[in-house]
């Protein structure tokens, strides 16, 4: 919005020329998001307490978590507000990809909000049923995936793979269910990771910083051609969104760090996961998501393996899933698990960035 309002006057006021640079607007979006989050954080936590919006801890979880019962939840509202407002302020809102990304983030946030609201009303860890939640997620992902396919873009149904510069199959109409699978999986993977103070938002911070680089590279024709990766015209503007996500994640982490003063709830985790998955789809780096969001993938896969193993053999692979609970039951302190998982997330992201040149 500021870009549209101020940049047209750059001929008269030379200093306004800075608005043409994505890097400047990304930095400003980061700072703005951080400021909004820090300024509104204490007030919003107070409002959540006043409204009795409290976390209900499930009985089958680790016993150490019972002390967290009553902590304000649905803090994801703060994340979304401090993410979307700076994005709309600093990004070019005429950009189709920016609108799609903001739309799907807000939509999945609404799904999460409904789930959290039902938990608060029922005073138990039971919101939407799994089938209900999955149906809403698939429906939303299908709608936005269809809009992406309608947008005229080169190689829109082509898949690209890390390390391979000449292998890019075109899967045609099958790309729509692939989009849906990617977005829904990413959304639920972040949701499963959100089980320890600061774990999910810290990993989101790392992933969003990585995607800020990737979106800029993919959107820059010269750099993309030099690195032999798919150039997506207009995708560079998503760097502003990623910058805002970095800032909002930093701000929320201030309050969500162990011991947490507030939890993000599904309104935050489902929206953040959907945003990360959508970015991967837009910039044609869907399979690189496995590395950028490596920690999220590991958490989700641990649940899948645990359920499959128990149903097939009656035995469990892990002491408890998702993976972070396994380490809790091994006796690791929560702060140590969080820090070490962040380190793993950083290593995954660095490896993901290295693939840009390893082709």
Domain ranges of the chain: 22-354
Confidence of residue 61 (pLDDT cuts 50, 70, 90): low
Asked whether residue 70 carries a pLDDT value surpassing 90, the answer given is no
Whose structure tokens read 């101020």? Answer: 6
What's the CA angle centered on 178, arms 177 and 184, to 5 degrees? 85
pLDDT at 59: 53
pLDDT at 58: 61
Average pLDDT of the segment spanning 320-340: 94
Asked whether residue 17 carries a pLDDT value surpassing 90, the answer given is no
Coil vs helix vs strand at 161: strand
Average pLDDT of the segment spanning 64-92: 89
In this predicted model, what pLDDT tens digit does every residue of 184-194 receive, in sequence order? 999 999 999 99
Give the C-alpha separation, 19 to 4, whole Å: 9
pLDDT at 55: 75
pLDDT at 168: 79
CA atoms within 13 A on the CB side of 314: 0
Give the C-alpha separation, 283 to 274, whole Å: 14
pLDDT at 7: 60
pLDDT at 62: 67
Mean pLDDT of the chain, nearest integer: 91
């Amino acid at each position: 919005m500021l870009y549209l309002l101020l940049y047209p006057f750059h001929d008269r006021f030379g200093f306004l020329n800075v608005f043409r640079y994505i890097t400047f607007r990304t930095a400003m979006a980061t700072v703005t998001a951080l400021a909004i989050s820090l300024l509104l954080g204490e007030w919003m936590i107070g409002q959540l307490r006043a409204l009795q919006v409290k976390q209900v801890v499930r009985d089958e979880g680790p016993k150490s978590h019972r002390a967290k019962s009553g902590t304000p939840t649905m803090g994801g509202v703060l994340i979304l507000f401090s993410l979307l407002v700076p994005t709309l302020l600093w990004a070019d809102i005429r950009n189709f990809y920016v609108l799609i990304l903001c739309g799907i983030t807000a939509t999945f946030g609404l799904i999460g909000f409904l789930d959290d609201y039902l938990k608060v009303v029922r005073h138990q860890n039971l919101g939407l049923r799994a089938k209900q939640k999955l149906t809403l997620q698939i429906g939303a992902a299908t709608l936005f995936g269809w809009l992406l396919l309608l947008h005229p873009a080169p190689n829109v149904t082509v898949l690209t793979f890390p390390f391979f510069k000449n292998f890019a199959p075109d899967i045609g109409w099958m790309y729509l269910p692939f989009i849906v699978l990617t977005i829904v999986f990413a959304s639920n993977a972040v949701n499963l990771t959100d089980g320890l103070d600061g774990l999910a938002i810290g990993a989101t911070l790392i992933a969003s910083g990585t995607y800020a680089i990737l979106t800029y590279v993919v959107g820059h024709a010269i750099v993309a051609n030099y690195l032999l990766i798919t150039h997506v015209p207009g995708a560079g503007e998503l760097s502003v969104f990623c910058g805002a996500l970095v800032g909002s994640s930093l701000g929320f982490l201030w309050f969500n760090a162990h011991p947490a003063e507030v939890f993000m709830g599904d309104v935050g985790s489902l929206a953040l996961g959907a945003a990360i998955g959508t970015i991967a789809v837009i910039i044609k780096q869907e399979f690189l998501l496995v590395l950028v969001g490596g920690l999220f993938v590991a958490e989700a896969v641990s649940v899948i393996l645990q359920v499959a193993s128990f149903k097939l053999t009656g035995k469990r692979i892990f002491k408890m899933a998702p993976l972070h609970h396994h380490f809790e039951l091994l006796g690791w302190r929560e702060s140590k698990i969080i820090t070490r998982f962040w380190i793993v997330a950083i290593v995954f992201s660095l490896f993901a960035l290295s693939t840009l040149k390893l082709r």
